[in-house]
Amino acid sequence: MMAAAGVNVVRMAEFAWDRMEPRPGAFDFSIFDETIDVLGAAGIETILCTPTAAPPRWMTSANPDWFRENASGVRMTHGSRQHVCTNHPEFRAASERITRAMAEHYRDNPRVIGWQTDNEFFCHISECFCPACGRDFQRWLREKYGNIQALNEAWGAAFWAQTYGDFSEIVPPRQDRPTYPNPGAQLDWFRFLGDAIRDFQGGQVNILRSVQPRWWITHNGTFQHVDYWNLAEDLDFLGVDVYPGFTVQKPEDYWWAAVKNEEARSASGSYIIPEQQAGAGGQWPYLHRTPDPGQMRLWAWQAVAHGADGILHFRWRTCRYGAEMYWNGVLDHDNIPRRRYDEFAREGGEFARLGDSILGTTLSVKVGVLLENDQDEAHQTMPMGLPSPDEQRRVILRELLRRKLEAGYVNAHDSFEGLGIIILPGFVLMDEDLAARLGEFVERGGLLVATARTATRHRNNHVSEFTPPGFLRDVFGATVEEFGKLERGSIDLEMAPGVVAPVGDGYEILSLRGARALGNWQCSRWPAPHAASGLPAVSHHVHGSGSAIYLGTYISADNAAALIGLVLDHANIPPLAVASDGVEITCRHSASHRLYFLLNHSGQPASVSALPVGTDLITGQPCDGDCTLSPFGVALIKA
C-alpha cells in the first residue's frame, strides 16, 4: 500500500530504545532489520531516529537521579517521555552508546539514508533544575564570563544584594523565591538551555557522522528555549512537525501552519516535515477535528509552498495502544485504506511527478519579518503584560500573507540580500553590529520598520543608556521621549484626518530629529496619556537610498491591516495575485523559473486573478492569469 501511494521514505525508531536494548548491553535490532528489508524491496528507504527521548525502564530504575526535576523540586518518574535529564553526564553517555550501537549496525545498510536526533526537544518540558543542570549552568557561566566580576556586572547583581563571590554560589532561577528573578540571570538561563540541548544533540551527531559520512541528519522542532539557527548549525537541514488541527477553525487560520513552516525555513533554508498531520490528533484531554476531504493533501502542499523539500505524514497506521492511540494516521486502527489513504496516494503521485520541478527552488521573500531567539527570550524575562516579538511576528506574517505578498521570516543572523522591507517586531535587544547591518540595508535602498521598545536594551539585558531607539536613532531620525502601557480603547492613532487605527497595549511619544510624522496620538477619553495628545506616534525618515518607519506602538490583530497598509504605502511590493482571504499564495523560484502555489483553505470554490501566464503543473492545463480552485484545492503555476 505504501509503494502504491508513492511513498519513497519512512521514519522510525524514535521511541524504541527498550526494543533495541531490552537488557543492559544486549542489543537486538532484528525487528528493524526485517522492516527495513521489506520496505527496501518495495523501493522505500528509511530514516532512523535516535530513541533517546524515552529510555527503557531498566535504565531509569537503576538510575533514579537521572530524572528531571521541576521548578518546585519534584523529581519526575517513569511512564511518559522526556522525563530524563539530557544534561546528566551518565545519561548522555548512555544516549551516545545506543546511538553508536545503531550507527555501527546500520553503517553499511544502503536503505538507511538519514537520521533524526531524538524527538521534539523541549516539546513538553524545557527546564530542569536537577543537580546536574545546576553544575552545567555554573560551568556554562564560567566559560562565558571567565571571572565572577564580569558576571556580576553583566547581571547587574548589585541590585537586591545579589553579588556573587564565586560561580559555585549560583543556582538556576527557580520558583522558590519570594519575588521575580534577576532578568540578566534569567536570560542567561534560557540561553544555557538552548546551548545545552545543542550539546546533547552534538554527541549523537558526531557519532553518526564519524560512522557513516554519507548520512544526512535532521531534528524535528520547533519549541521554546531552542535557538534553531544555532541548533541547525550541526544538522544538514532542520525539520518541523506541523499539526494545523491545533488551531485551524476557519479558512483564514492557515497562517498558523505557515508560521511553523517559516520557523524552520528561516533557521536552515532547506527543511523537511518529519510529521505532517494525517488525521485527527487525540490525546488524553483533547481530540482535533478530523481533516475535511482534501485538507491533508492541502496542508502537505502548504509546507512545500513555504520551502519544504520533503514531507512525511504522521502516522501510517494508527497505534492501537498507548498515550497516542487516538493520534490518527493515514490508516485507521483496522489497517483498511479509506478516503485518507486515497488522498494520501493522490498527494504521493503528484510529488513523484512534480518533485524534479520543485527541488532546487527556494521561497521568494521580499518582505522579511525578522526573527531572533534572543529577542523572545529577553521578552520572557520582563514581559510586563505586553506583546512579545513572537506574538507580533505571527500577526504581521498573517497580514502579509492575507495581502498575497512575497513574505516570510528571516533570521537576524542571515543575509538581508534581496529583501525590500524588513520588519523588527519589538526587538528589545540591540548591538552595534546588528544595528550597522540594518543601517546598511536602509542605506542601500531598503525600508526598515520597527515597533515599540525596539533597541531599548543591550545584549546583557540591561536597559540602554541611550535614548531609544539607541543604536538605530540616526536610521529612524526620531527618538522616544515617553512610553507607557494603555487601557484598551483609551487612545487612537490618527494617520490622516479622519483615518484612525485602533491601538492597544502600549504607546510611545516620538521626538522627530529629521523624520516626519506619519501619525499622531489622539487622546479624547480618560484614562489616557494626555501628554501624548497631538504628538507624533509614527515617523518616516529618509536615510541614504532607503527609509525607516518607526511605529510607536505594537502591531496587533486589531491594527495590523492599518499599520501594514501604512508601511506598504512607502514601498513598491506588488502582490503575487488577487484572491480572497482564505486563499494562500506563495512563490518558489530558481534561476530558470518561478512556481506559484495557490492553496484554497476554504471548503468553497475560490477564484484567483492577476496571475502570470503559465501552466498548472498539477493538471497540465494552461493558465491565462485567472484560476478557479476547488474546495481545499491546490494549483501549481509554472511561469
The predicted pLDDT at position 432 comes to 98
pLDDT higher than threshold 80 for residue 175? no
Question: Do 184 and 196 lie in a common domain?
Answer: no
Tell whether omega for the bond before 315 is within 30 degrees of 0, i.e. cis.
yes
pLDDT value at position 423? 98
Q: Is the alpha carbon torsion for 479, 483, 486, 490 positive or negative?
A: negative
Mean per-residue pLDDT over the chain, rounded: 97
- State the alpha helices, DSSP H only, in 12-156: 17-20, 30-41, 57-62, 89-106, 131-145, 148-155
Q: Quick one: 151 and 6 in the same domain?
A: no
**Same domain for 540 and 392?**
yes
Q: Are residues 138 and 168 in the same domain?
A: yes
In terms of Cβ atoms closer than 10 Å to its own Cβ (0-12, 13-18, 19+), residue 624 is exposed
Annotated binding residue 81? yes
Tell me, what amino acid is at 118?
Answer: D
Specify if 113 maps to a domain.
yes
Q: Judge whether 416 lies within some domain.
A: yes
CA torsion sign, 169 to 170 to 173 to 174? negative
pLDDT tens digit sequence for 355-396: 999 999 999 999 999 999 999 999 999 999 999 999 999 999
Local structure of 436: helix, strand or coil: helix
Q: pLDDT category, 495, cuts 50, 70, 90?
A: very high
End residue of a domain, out of 173, 188, 203: 188
CATH number, residue 115: 3.20.20.80
DSSP H/E element including 483: strand 478-485
- CATH of residue 482: 3.40.50.880
278: left (phi over 0), alpha (psi -120 to 50) or beta: alpha
Q: What is the pLDDT of residue 607?
A: 98
Q: Is residue 266 part of a domain?
A: no
Q: Which residues contact 560 (CB under 8 A, 6 or more apart)?
A: 395, 396, 398, 399
Q: What is the pLDDT of residues 571-629, one digit of tens each?
A: 999 999 999 999 999 999 999 999 999 999 999 999 999 999 999 999 999 999 999 99
Q: Are residues 619 and 488 in the same domain?
A: no
**Paired strand residues for 509:** 482
Is 525 strand, coil or helix? coil
Instruction: Please report whether residue 7 resides in a domain.
Output: yes
What pLDDT score was predicted for residue 174? 87
Contacts for 271 with CB less than 8 Å, ≥ 6 apart = 237, 238, 239, 240, 261, 264, 265, 307, 308, 309
243 within domain boundaries: no
Q: Is the pLDDT of residue 176 over 80?
A: no
Query: Which candidate, 274, 272, 290, places its Cα nearest to that of 123?
Result: 274
- C-alpha dihedral, 449 to 451 to 455 to 456, nearest 10°: 160
pLDDT of residue 173: 93
Structural domain includes residue 150: yes
Is 128 annotated as a binding-site member? Answer: yes
Does 130 show up as a binding residue in the annotation? yes
pLDDT in tens, 96-153: 999 999 999 999 999 999 999 999 999 999 999 999 999 999 999 999 999 999 999 9
Closest CA to 574 of 417, 421, 444, 412: 421
Residue 54 lies in a domain: yes
Per-residue model confidence (pLDDT) at position 526: 81
Return the pLDDT at 286: 95
Using CA atoms, how far apart are residues 436 and 412, in angstroms rounded to an integer? 12
- pLDDT > 80? residue 489: no
With beta carbons less than 8 A apart as the criterion, state whether 441 and 419 touch.
yes
**Of 195-209, 252-266, 413-427, 475-489, where does mean pLDDT reach its minimum?**
475-489
Find out whether 133 is annotated in a ligand binding site. yes
Q: Do 372 and 452 lie in a common domain? A: yes
Q: Are 13 and 144 in a shared domain?
A: no
Number of domains in the chain: 4
Residue 627 is assigned to a ligand binding site:
no
Q: Is 322 helix (H, G, I), strand (E, B) or coil?
A: coil
Residues 199 and 175 placed together within one structural domain of the fold: no
Q: Is the peptide bond before 293 cis (omega within 30 degrees of 0)?
A: no
List the catalytic residues.
120, 275
Give yes or no: residues 509 and 619 share one domain: no
Q: Which residues in 199-225 are b (16+ Cβ under 10 Å) and which e?
A: ebbebbbebbbebbeebebbbbbbbbb
Report pLDDT for 487: 79
| Confidence check: pLDDT of 504 > 80 | no
Instruction: Find out whether 512 and 539 touch, Cβ atoms under 8 Å.
Output: yes
pLDDT tens-place string over residues 192-209: 999 999 999 999 999 999
524 & 625 share domain: no
Give the domain range for residue 20: 1-127+192-236
Cα–Cα distance measured from residue 269 to residue 381, given in angstroms and rounded to the nearest whole number: 29
Q: Tell me the backbone φ, ψ of residue 483, rounded to 5 degrees.
A: -140, 160
Whether 178 and 66 share a structural domain: no
Spatial contact of 271 and 237, defined as CB atoms under 8 Å apart:
yes
Q: Which of 568, 591, 626 is the last residue of a domain?
A: 568
Q: Are residues 506 and 442 in the same domain?
A: yes
CB 251 within 8 A of CB 245: no
d(CA 626, CA 639): 13
Band the pLDDT of 350: cuts 50, 70, 90: very high
Looking at the domain assignment, is residue 340 inside a domain? no
Q: What is the pLDDT of residue 497?
A: 86
